[in-house]
Amino acid sequence: MAKQGVDDYKYVGKEKFRIDKFDSADTGEFTDRAEAVDEFVHNLLKINKLQQKLYAERKEGVIFVFQAMDAAGKDGVIRTVCNTLSPHGGREYCFKVPSSEESSHDYLWRFWSAMPARGNISIFNRSYYEDVLVGKVHKLWENQILPDRMRKTDIIKQRYEQIKNFEKYLYDTGTRVIKIFLNVSKEEQARRFISRIDTEKKNWKISSGDIKERKFWDDYMEAFETMVNETSTEVNPWYVVPADHKWYARLTVSRIVLKTLEEIDPQWPVISDEELEAVQEYRKELAASLPGEYLPPVPQLPEFANPGILAAEIVENEERAKIVEKTERRKARGFRAVEELLENSPSIGSLDAIIEAIAEARDTETEFESK
Ligand code: ATP
Ligand code: MG
């Protein structure tokens, strides 16, 4: 099969998106998740490095918008892929049913405070697109107090136009908006709901509201399809991601995030020759103030701060893993799970196992520290 890149899932307003023709069980060029682990891990690492440059350069802001039906895996994608982003320059915003204050304003009002500064990334977990999804399906404006002139227009049609203009404005003023629709099938949603009901630790995720919304499935599909067709543009595209296989959705989103950052192509800021000369003088002073000779630091893995990055670094560089194994073994008594993992590291099979083990180790550390 020809290699499938993210461009196959990208809509820019030219080709029509047909939801009934879309294969949400697609796994691209892969037959099995194990084949994709290596790329996923490396994508995370590249994303992390590019974000540092984006932040340092402070030239362009990015918003990744996530929309999906319930149980499509939005939260899992954000947790695994965006976990790689440093909270320093990246933040997630979850948009729920608007509060009474929010609904007393225009529907875009509540998004202004979530706008990324240039150099930052905002993750929108749901967004103003709800106003052309749930808002459209349930005709929510009918319950609002609005001027008569608004009722004489096609409110939803106007919103598509307003959203396109809003996003164009953001693009023109330094912020890219990249939109991701995780498209899960109705059958797969049923399976995931059943699993949420059957599994005690997933019970909290199921709500009667989700089950009610499922009854409007066809209306939602129409709303998603129209949304993609009406609001995709060259600079603010929609990506429709097959979401029946969580691993493939996560891989694809990692590709989209990576591609976006590669297109922005951030560069480390360069300091002037004069400044460089001045700091060289300062460096001499600092070195002279030290008791012995200054030795450059031995390359280290990042502290156990981010399981995704750590996992990526382990795969990237076995040598570094060995350094950590030696030093961390002594330092951190609580990291038994990581130790075990590193002992088996030449054949790291599953990213989930690494992430879970490290998360477990981090809990142990917290407990250890709090005692
Ligand atoms: P979780 O994975 O925790 O269920 P979620 O994003 O589904 O995350 P919920 O609190 O279950 O969070 O749902 C948020 C709800 O808010 C959704 O049903 C969504 O349709 C609704 N919502 C968001 N924006 C609007 C809006 N502008 N108007 C009406 N409803 C909205
Ligand atoms: Mg929900």
pLDDT digits (tens, 9 = 90+) for 195-209: 999 999 889 988 888
Largest CA distance in the chain: 80
Is 135 near ligand 1, meaning CB less than 6 Å away? yes
Is 92 near ligand 1, meaning CB less than 6 Å away? no
Instruction: Please tell me the distance from the alpha carbon of residue 46 to that of residue 262, in angstroms, as a whole number.
Output: 9
Q: Which pLDDT score is estimated for 346?
A: 43
| Mean pLDDT computed over 105-114 | 97
| Nearest atom (ligand 1) to Cα of 134 | 20
- Please classify residue 165 by burial: count the beta carbons closer than 10 Å to its beta carbon, then call 0-12 exposed, 13-18 middle and 19+ buried: exposed
Angle at CA 69, nearest 5°, toward 65 and 70? 110
Is 188 near ligand 1, meaning CB less than 6 Å away? no
Q: Compute the mean pLDDT over every residue in the chain, rounded to the nearest whole number.
A: 85
Q: Which pLDDT score is estimated for 352?
A: 54
Own/partner contacts of 317-323, CB < 8 Å, gap of 24 or more, are 318/345, 318/346, 321/345, 323/298, 323/299
**CB distance 307 to 362 below 8 Å:** yes
Q: Which pLDDT score is estimated for 127?
A: 98
- Residue 313 tokens read as 């670094």
| Nearest atom (ligand 1) to Cα of 75 | 2
Is 126 near ligand 1, meaning CB less than 6 Å away? yes
Tell me which of 99, 124, 130 to substitute to probe ligand 1's pocket, judged by most ligand atoms within 8 Å of the beta carbon: 130
- Residue 15 tokens read as 């080709």
Q: Which pLDDT score is estimated for 298?
A: 58
Predicted confidence band of residue 365 (pLDDT cuts 50, 70, 90): very low
**CB distance 253 to 243 below 8 Å:** no
Q: Answer yes or no: is pLDDT of 313 > 70.
A: no
% pLDDT > 70, the chain = 79
**CB distance 60 to 176 below 8 Å:** yes
Q: Which pLDDT score is estimated for 314?
A: 59
**Closest CA to ligand 1's atom 20:** 134
Is 219 near ligand 1, meaning CB less than 6 Å away? no
Contacts of 134 (CB under 8 A, 6+ apart): 140, 213
30, HSE (Cβ side, Cα atoms, 13 Å)? 19
Predicted confidence band of residue 337 (pLDDT cuts 50, 70, 90): very low
**Closest CA to ligand 1's atom 3:** 205
Predicted confidence band of residue 176 (pLDDT cuts 50, 70, 90): very high
Alpha-carbon distances of 174 from 107, 109, 120, rounded to whole Å: 22, 19, 11
Pairwise pLDDT comparison (316 vs 365), residue with the higher score: 316
Which one of the ligands is nearest to 74 CA? 1
**CB distance 179 to 65 below 8 Å:** yes
Residue ranges per domain, the chain?
Answer: 6-264, 293-369
> Residue 64 Cα, ligand 2 centroid: separation in angstroms?
19
Distance of CA 27 to the CA centre of its chain: 19
Q: Which pLDDT score is estimated for 327?
A: 53
| Mean pLDDT computed over 262-281 | 94
> Residue 134 Cα, ligand 1 centroid: separation in angstroms?
9
Is 212 near ligand 1, meaning CB less than 6 Å away? no
Predicted confidence band of residue 360 (pLDDT cuts 50, 70, 90): low
Q: Answer yes or no: is pLDDT of 84 > 90.
A: no
Is 235 near ligand 1, meaning CB less than 6 Å away? no
Predicted confidence band of residue 295 (pLDDT cuts 50, 70, 90): confident
Predicted confidence band of residue 276 (pLDDT cuts 50, 70, 90): very high
**Closest CA to ligand 1's atom 2:** 75
Is residue 325 helix, strand or coil? helix
Is 14 near ligand 1, meaning CB less than 6 Å away? no
Instruction: Please tell me the distance from the alpha carbon of residue 226 to that of residue 16, in angstroms, as a whole number.
Output: 10
> Residue 209 Cα, ligand 2 centroid: separation in angstroms?
8
Lowest mean pLDDT segment, chosen from 38-42, 167-171, 205-209, 251-255: 38-42
Q: Answer yes or no: is pLDDT of 58 > 50.
A: yes
Which one of the ligands is nearest to 66 CA? 1
Is 116 near ligand 1, meaning CB less than 6 Å away? no
| Mean pLDDT computed over 104-131 | 97
- Looking at CATH, the fold of the domain delimited by 6-264 is given as Rossmann fold (3.40.50)
125 residue type, one letter: N
Pairwise pLDDT comparison (313 vs 56), residue with the higher score: 56
Q: 97-113 b/e with 16+ CB inside 10 Å = b? A: ebeeeebeeebeebbee
| Nearest atom (ligand 1) to Cα of 70 | 7
